[in-house]
A and B are shown apart, each in its own frame.
Chain A
Amino acid sequence: AQSVTQLDSQVPVFEEAPVELRCNYSSSVSVYLFWYVQYPNQGLQLLLKYLSGSTLVKGINGFEAEFNKSQTSFHLRKPSVHISDTAEYFCAVSDPAYNFNKFYFGSGTKLNVKP
Chain B
Amino acid sequence: DARVTQTPRHKVTEMGQEVTMRCQPILGHNTVFWYRQTMMQGLELLAYFRNRAPLDDSGMPKDRFSAEMPDATLATLKIQPSEPRDSAVYFCASGLVGQGAHDSGNTIYFGEGSWLTVV
Contact = CB atoms under 8 A, between A and B. Distances in A.
A interacts with B: yes
A101 B48 contact: yes
> B-side binding surface: helix, strand, loop or mixed?
strand
Contact of B113 (A32, A34, A43): A43
Interface residues of B, number: 26
B101 to A, nearest CB: 8
B98 A52 contact: no
A92 to B, nearest CB: 8
Contact of B55 (A42, A43, A101): A101
A103 B42 CA distance: 14
Interface residues of A, number: 23
Interface of A: 32, 34, 36, 42-46, 49, 51-52, 90, 94, 98-105, 107-108
Most chain B beta carbons < 10 A, residue from A102, A104, A108: A102
Contacts, number: 54
Nearest to B55: A101
Interface in B48-100: 48, 50, 55-56, 91, 93, 97-99
A42 B108 contact: no
Interface of B: 4, 31, 33, 35, 42-43, 45, 48, 50, 55-56, 91, 93, 97-99, 101, 103, 106-113
A49 B56 CA distance: 24
Given A49-B107, A108-B42, A100 B112 contact: no
Nearest to B56: A102
Contacts of B43: 90, 105, 108
Contacts of B55: 101
A36 B108 CA distance: 10
A100 B109 contact: no
A67 B98 CA distance: 21
Contacts of B97: 94, 99-101
B50 A102 contact: no
A102 B48 contact: yes
A84 to B, nearest CB: 19
Contact of A52 (B45, B91, B103, B110): B103
